[in-house]
Chains A and B, each alone.
Chain A
Amino acid sequence: MEAGALSDPVLRVRRNLTDRIGDPLLRGLSGLAAALAVAVIAGIAYEVVHLAWPAITKFGVGFVTTNDWNPVTERYGAAPFIYGTAVTSAIALLFAAPLSIAISIYLTELAPSRVRRPVATLVDMLAAIPSVILGLWGILVLGPFMHDTIEPALNSVLGFLPIFSGDPSAFGYLTAALILTIMTTPIITSVTREVFETVPGDLKEGSYALGATRWEMIRQVVLPYSRAGIVGATILGLGRAIGEAIAVAQVIGGATGINVSLFHTGSTMAAQIAAQFQGAPGALQKPSLAYLGLILLVFAVIVNVVARLIVQRGTLKDTDMTVTEAGAL
């Protein structure tokens, strides 16, 4: 009956006409959108290099190692900010990675099934808090707490270490690192949790059957199986940490030098751009900030590519390895 309708020449022509336009139109439009996405990433790279060009030609590669940021003499270098980015991100991951692994262990191995979902959702929600609000909280709540309580305590116990020397300060590397810890923990957790969930139940049960305690099972089965995923997730968190501009700009203090003490104020690449780009005077300051942006972009791209390769390929490879190991047993 449907075929009869189609064989009617009038209906057939009408259908073919809209479909003849509709299908290629959809294909063309969606292809165009995909091309636009590719063009945007190319455009970002081009525009950042373009804006940075005066600084690139003036300072060259030496910009990366120059420890100076002086609008008066128009001499700019990235070293203080690369240092700030490295220190704050490293401390943040030092806290966030073990914390995320522990949270994932809780969520996959320990939590009663009724609280599992709500707790996971709450941890995810932490990632949804806008960074400007975390920054506000950092300025008005965490900063004073660091100044009055945490930093004096660290100083009195570990003050012989240069990194814990000097006067406590509400703003500085350590406060920024803690804010970054809060931001990266939910990101790392969401990936590690997913990876932990893929660990085959029979491997875990096998470990228990051999008499392992829960921790021994986790250490001998879950963690080795998820190694690549954990590393990838941590690098993904690193990508978030190095790119965060606003919250760090709010709490790091904005000093443009390298300081060993973690209590001291400093700045990161992203924070420096956020703090100074808008009002940047001088012919070379904006280009120098764009140059900082270029270095940051290169770091961010490398970090993201490496993280995704590890998460995607690594998990597969580890699965194969574990299967052969199990087979050998």
Chain B
Amino acid sequence: MNGAESHALLLDRGNLKRRNRVSKLVSLSSTIAALLAVAVLLIVVGSVLSKGIGALSIHFLTTPMGLFGDTTGGISNAIVGTGIIVGIAALMAIPVGMLVAIYTTEFAPDRIGHAIRFVLDLLNGVPTIITGIFVYGLMVAGNRQSGFAGSVALAIIMLPIVARTAQEVLALVPGALKEAAYALGIARWRTLLRVTLPTAAGGLLTGSLLAVARVAGETAPLILTCSIFGQGLLTEPGEALASIPIFIFQSSESPSPEAHTQAWAAALILIVFVLVLNIIARAFYARSRKRMGA
């Protein structure tokens, strides 16, 4: 019965034609879906480029913001502020993240290593606005907003990204290299500093760059921790600092077309920074994997 049926299927030209047509249709719609995703990326980046480039000028890059509603200023204070906030965040999150990864790959017993991986995944899944609430309660409530509070919030978001990528990269380092060092009687910490970390350097850099790219555009936690800032070019992390994402957010909520143009220009700077960092990170990762023969 079954055999006869499939025999009939094979012979039935009309049915085979239909099956092939369905298959072609699926192939076509899959291709369209991929094209659509690429098109959306190009449309968004293209919008930012075409609407932002006109407002970009030396004046825009080197002048601090005007008073609220004044659109003749620039974003120099936001660029500097983002640099400081993200820089301090990176200084906190990258060493801690590396150490967490070192602990789980070098020292932790299996069960504790799994538990820490799980905690890092959880941390990665915490909505960034909640991280903002946490740092608000920890540092801002009863005190005031500050660039430093913003940095702590961003560092918490970076930590799981840095640690998880570092874990993956450290696990790729060939065991034979480490064993060779141990066989020479070299202590664990020396092996780590001289053998493991240099071998994994490219991949470790990737994770750090991706984490920086990820938080450079992060807005939600900064609203709660570092969004009410004074006039002019501020550089003291003890007080609230301007930042590019907050500038884009506030300008986007404004009804004035001039403010929108400024938002597009700031978005252009941010998107170029983020995408270039992503591309560099990928290049390093590809090179490092090749080096480790993975």
- List A residues at the B interface (Cβ < 8 Å): 2, 6, 15, 18-19, 22-23, 25-27, 29-34, 36-38, 40-41, 43-44, 47-48, 50-51, 99, 102-103, 105-107, 109-111, 119, 121-123, 125-126, 128-137, 139-141, 182, 185-186, 189, 211, 213-216, 218, 239, 242-246, 250, 270, 273-274, 277-278, 290, 293, 296-297, 300-301, 303-305, 308
Residues of A within 8 A of B33 (CB): 99, 102-103, 106
Specify which of B116, B192, B217 is in contact with A37 (CB 8 Å cutoff): B116
Given A19-B190, A36-B96, A102-B34, verify A301-B27 contact (CB < 8 Å): no
Q: How far is the CA of A132 from the CA of B219 in the complex (A)?
A: 7
Do B121 and A133 have beta carbons less than 8 Å apart? no
Q: Is the interface of A mostly helix, strand, loop or mixed?
A: helix
Q: How far is the CA of A186 from the CA of B220 in the complex (A)?
A: 21
Bin the interface of chain B by size.
Answer: 35 or more
Q: Flag whether B293 is at the interface (Cβ < 8 A).
A: no
Q: How far is the CA of A128 from the CA of B280 in the complex (A)?
A: 13
Given A51-B133, A128-B278, verify A30-B100 contact (CB < 8 Å): yes
Do A23 and B187 have beta carbons less than 8 Å apart? yes
Residues of A within 8 A of B131 (CB): 44
Q: Flag whether B20 is at the interface (Cβ < 8 A).
A: yes
Residues of B within 8 A of A111 (CB): 34
Q: Flag whether B263 is at the interface (Cβ < 8 A).
A: yes
Residues of B within 8 A of A107 (CB): 34
Do A242 and B267 have beta carbons less than 8 Å apart? no
Q: Flag whether B4 is at the interface (Cβ < 8 A).
A: no
Q: Flag whether B90 is at the interface (Cβ < 8 A).
A: no
Residues of A within 8 A of B51 (CB): 140
Specify which of A29, A44, A102, A278 is in contact with B99 (CB 8 Å cutoff): A29
Do A250 and B252 have beta carbons less than 8 Å apart? yes
Do B99 and A33 have beta carbons less than 8 Å apart? yes
Do A277 and B133 have beta carbons less than 8 Å apart? yes
Q: Flag whether B180 is at the interface (Cβ < 8 A).
A: no
Residues of B within 8 A of A133 (CB): 44, 48, 217, 248, 267, 270-271
Q: How far is the CA of A41 from the CA of B245 in the complex (A)?
A: 25
Residues of B within 8 A of A23 (CB): 187-189
Do A218 and B26 have beta carbons less than 8 Å apart? yes
Residues of A within 8 A of B267 (CB): 132-133, 136
Q: Flag whether B119 is at the interface (Cβ < 8 A).
A: yes
Specify which of B95, B122, B137, B216 is in contact with A50 (CB 8 Å cutoff): B137
Do A123 and B270 have beta carbons less than 8 Å apart? no
Output the least CB separation between A271 and chain B (Å).
9
Do A270 and B116 have beta carbons less than 8 Å apart? no
Residues of A within 8 A of B127 (CB): 242-245, 270, 296-297, 300
Q: Flag whether B287 is at the interface (Cβ < 8 A).
A: no
Residues of A within 8 A of B216 (CB): 130
Q: Flag whether B58 is at the interface (Cβ < 8 A).
A: no
- B33: nearest chain-A partner, CB-CB: A102
- B247: nearest chain-A partner, CB-CB: A132
Do B252 and A213 have beta carbons less than 8 Å apart? no
Do B31 and A130 have beta carbons less than 8 Å apart? no
- A26: nearest chain-B partner, CB-CB: B189
Q: Is the interface of B mostly helix, strand, loop or mixed?
A: helix
Residues of A within 8 A of B118 (CB): 308
Output the least CB separation between B167 and chain A (Å).
11
Residues of B within 8 A of A185 (CB): 37
Do A215 and B27 have beta carbons less than 8 Å apart? yes
Residues of A within 8 A of B228 (CB): 278
Specify which of B137, B141, B160, B270 is in contact with A48 (CB 8 Å cutoff): B137
- A107: nearest chain-B partner, CB-CB: B34
Residues of B within 8 A of A34 (CB): 99-100, 103-104, 108, 116
Specify which of A128, A134, A137, A141 is in contact with B275 (CB 8 Å cutoff): A128
Residues of B within 8 A of A110 (CB): 27, 30-31
Do A274 and B126 have beta carbons less than 8 Å apart? no
Residues of A within 8 A of B292 (CB): none
Q: How far is the CA of A189 from the CA of B44 in the complex (A)?
A: 19
Residues of A within 8 A of B189 (CB): 19, 22-23, 25-26
Give the 10 A-B CB pairs with smallest separation, nearest first. Answer: A130-B217, A243-B127, A304-B125, A33-B99, A102-B33, A30-B103, A213-B23, A215-B23, A19-B187, A22-B189
Q: How far is the CA of A293 from the CA of B119 in the complex (A)?
A: 19
Specify which of B30, B133, B217, B227 is in contact with A132 (CB 8 Å cutoff): B217
Do A43 and B128 have beta carbons less than 8 Å apart? no
Q: How far is the CA of A50 from the CA of B141 in the complex (A)?
A: 12
Query: Can you report 13 residue pairs joining A to B where beta carbons are below 8 Å apart?
Result: A23-B187, A23-B188, A26-B102, A30-B103, A102-B34, A105-B26, A132-B219, A141-B43, A182-B44, A216-B23, A277-B132, A301-B125, A304-B122
Residue among B108, B125, B136, B227 with max Cβ neighbours from chain A (10 Å): B125
- A52: nearest chain-B partner, CB-CB: B133
- A289: nearest chain-B partner, CB-CB: B133
Q: Flag whether B213 is at the interface (Cβ < 8 A).
A: yes
Given A30-B107, A51-B133, A270-B129, verify A2-B184 contact (CB < 8 Å): yes
Q: How far is the CA of A44 from the CA of B126 in the complex (A)?
A: 9
